[in-house]
Amino acid sequence: GQSLEQPSEVTAVEGAIVQINCTYQTSGFYGLSWYQQHDGGAPTFLSYNALDGLEETGRFSSFLSRSDSYGYLLLQELQMKDSASYFCAVSSLSGGYQKVTFGTGTKLQVIP
């Protein structure tokens, strides 16, 4: 089966940088994604890493180390609107198709 671990809560100051870590265990690993979800909203896709290294998309960057089964999401120049839950999700090959399994999420609170 699949399992993912990420911190349950993180608090950071507006304008600062925060890193949310994710470790995973899975067979048939394909890639690691990150999603953002505001209270009452739907999860929205942020980034995807299939290969080792850093992917940058604006203020958000995501890193993957396949050998360590580890990744992180880096949020820079934090804004109040970044307060949300962030989920890492593992894509794995299961029975010939790409299954996506989510972690339990990290609630980020950005304070002034």
Q: Which residues bind another protein (CB under 8 A)?
A: 30-33, 41-45, 48, 50, 87, 89, 91, 94-105, 107
Nearer to another protein, 15 or 41 (CB): 41
* Closer of 15 and 109 to another protein (Cβ): 109
Q: Between 21 and 101, whose beta carbon lies closer to another protein?
A: 101
- Please answer whether residues 13 and 109 qualify as being in contact, where contact means their C-beta atoms are separated by less than 8 angstroms: no
Residue 8 Cβ, how far from another protein at the closest point, in Å? 8
Distances (CA, A) of 58 to 2, 28, 64, 94: 30, 30, 17, 32
The continuous run of DSSP H or E covering 36 comes out as strand 29-37
